[in-house]
Amino acid sequence: METLATVQETTVTKKTKTISGSQAVLEAFIAEDVDTIFGYPGGAIMPIYDALYDYHDKLKHILVRHEQGGIHAGQGYARTSGKCGVVFATSGPGATNLVTGLADAMIDSTPLVCITGQVYAHLLGTDAFQEIDVINITTPVTKWNYQITDATEIPAVLAKAFYIAKSGRPGPVLIDITKNAQLQQFEYEGYQPCTHIRSYRPKPIIRKEYITAAAELINKAEKPFIIFGQGVILGKAEKEFKAFVEKTGIPAAWTILGLSALPSDHPLNVGMLGMHGNYGPNVLTNDCDVLIAVGMRFDDRVTGRLDKYAKQAKIIHLDIDPSEIDKNVKATVGVWGDCKETLPMLTKLVESKVYPQWVNRFREYQLEEEKEVIHEELNPSTDVLTMGEVIRNLNELTGGNAVIVTDVGQHQMVACRYAKFNQSKSNVTSGGLGTMGFALPAAIGAKFGAPERTVVAIIGDGGVQMTIQELGTVMQSEVNIKILILNNEFLGMVRQWQQLFHDKRYSFVDIASPDYVAVAKAYKIEGQKISQREYLRDALTTMLNHNGSYLLEVMVGKENNVFPMVPQGCSVSEIRLK
């Protein structure tokens, strides 16, 4: 006679199968809708790569040339797709090569799940070949990390990893798996996505009384000002934010990671904040009466001197991460919560208004900046090409519809200042960490994250040499990206500081470059180099229309500077036009 226990046992048997820990990792990826992995194999992660051989029809793997390139590619993928980037690396140097990317992703709130191989569990702590304590090394630069020594933990730990990486304020997670756990066979009962972790609250409880208090301040304001960051994009709250801006009639300015959350041509989009931001947004920060910060963290490059920052204003700060509120700038009203939820609540309570005189002040400063800086940058009167005119021509040819991936330096600030965007998730750059070498691998990932879009990597001659080996990844993966090198034959941003603040003592900033077109050709990538204005438009058109990846090197002014500029140690209202 069949008993209840027999039926239950039969049911369990049907649901389980014996698989390896490595297979369990890949099954988790499929369940989490992962389609692309960026990685580099090695001894300690070899069992996972062996299992991947049988999953090639379900999971695409992009072989990078360096683990740092892999994690930056994962970041680019996450930033354009809105999904979680996934990265593989082996133990020892493979794992430590991820650290820069982890730090970059941590400070820029990019969701990643990184899997590192590790030596056998019985060798831990013995200084075995390529053993490193990756958990302690990466603890400060991950949202969560964990070491697995038993394969039975893999399904639950990976479910937790994806949940933590994607939920709340996103960030990187690293899971270190010993080789024995990768090889271990166990009874696999399926994958259950994680939706809750005790003691972890990704979204703080929204306090309606703070929403009400914020609305009251906004309704009484005479010169309100909105500053917005990447939190709007990460919260998928672009529509909600636009509705809030348009109902309130308040001018809004962006941080470099907030760029593209609001269309560049929106009449209330008044430009960029920060050290190389626009004149009006910086000066009028210290003149507004209510400052509304949405999904941004008051970074020092935005605030300048904190003791001179918006002291006259009531501060409203909306953020999903309660630790950011009052961290740098004391808020009059702190609104905890996901801005996709808090913004509609706030929009409902605010009055429909317009501020013609106040908005006109931003326009007046814009006209002054155009006269003193922008016109000459975009339409130079000399024979020397400027970075700004390259960006202007690129805008006109792409119609503001391209994904722009920038490295770090003068070209980054120029691109952020002058690039135009019609849709969100179009600006990919290293914000908080400022990682040179970011753009080339990030552009590769960005294209895999948004395959239907044109992806242009804008890189300086310094940054491109840090990860130039990823041209091999471009070649082998046949990814179609456009590589635009703006070459001023200097480490330009450092040189600008040495010129302005160190009496032109140019100490080790004169950098030599290889023949980039020849290097690209060695990797089977077409390209050309120009130095004259008459060839610029045609060269950009050729690059954009080329069927496949293309490298264009543009020689620009050696000692051109990026202005406006807030000197270090000054307030935002002390911004210089020259």
Report if residue 375 sits inside a domain: no
Among the listed residues 60, 83, 130, 469, the single catalytic one is 130
Report if residue 194 sits inside a domain: no
Residues 225 and 162 both lie in one domain: no
Helix, strand, or coil (residue 412)? helix
Q: Quote the crossing angle between the two packed helices 208-220 and 339-349, to the nearest 10°.
A: 50
Tens of pLDDT, residue by residue over 201-221, are 999 999 999 999 999 999 999
Beta bridge partners of 521: none
| 47-53-56-59 Cα dihedral, nearest 10 degrees | 0
If one counts the domains in the chain, the total is 3
Residues 252 and 312 both lie in one domain: yes
Residues 57 and 171 both lie in one domain: yes
Task: Write down the pLDDT at residue 578.
Answer: 86
Residues 408 and 301 both lie in one domain: no
Residues 51 and 159 both lie in one domain: yes
Report if residue 380 sits inside a domain: no
Report residue 454 as tokens. Answer: 């044109």
Report the amino acid identity of residue 418: Y
Task: Write down the pLDDT at residue 7.
Answer: 36
Report residue 357 as tokens. Answer: 């005189």
Among the listed residues 58, 129, 504, 521, the single catalytic one is 129
Active site residue 67: yes
Beta bridge partners of 147: 176
Active site residue 14: no
- What is the extent of the structural domain holding 294? 208-361
Looking only at the bridges linking them, the beta strands covering 185-188 and 17-20 are antiparallel
Active site residue 340: no
Residues 83 and 135 both lie in one domain: yes
Return phi, psi of residue 551, to 5°.
-115, 125
Tens of pLDDT, residue by residue over 356-373, are 999 999 999 999 999 999
Among the listed residues 67, 377, 470, 489, the single catalytic one is 67
Query: Which segments of the chain have a pLDDT < 50?
Result: 1-14
Active site residue 223: no
Task: Write down the pLDDT at residue 415.
Answer: 96
Q: Is pTM beyond 0.85 here?
A: yes
Among the listed residues 106, 275, 413, 493, the single catalytic one is 493
- The Cα–Cα gap between 429 and 252 comes to 21
Report if residue 576 sits inside a domain: no
Active site residue 129: yes
Residues 351 and 407 both lie in one domain: no
Beta bridge partners of 457: 405, 483
Report if residue 193 sits inside a domain: no
Report residue 64 as tokens. Answer: 């990078």
Q: Is the preceding peptide bond at 564 cis, omega within 30 degrees of 0? A: yes
- The Cα–Cα gap between 242 and 275 comes to 25
Residue 135: which CATH number? Answer: 3.40.50.970
Task: Write down the pLDDT at residue 13.
Answer: 44
Residues 395 and 287 both lie in one domain: no
Task: Write down the pLDDT at residue 15.
Answer: 74
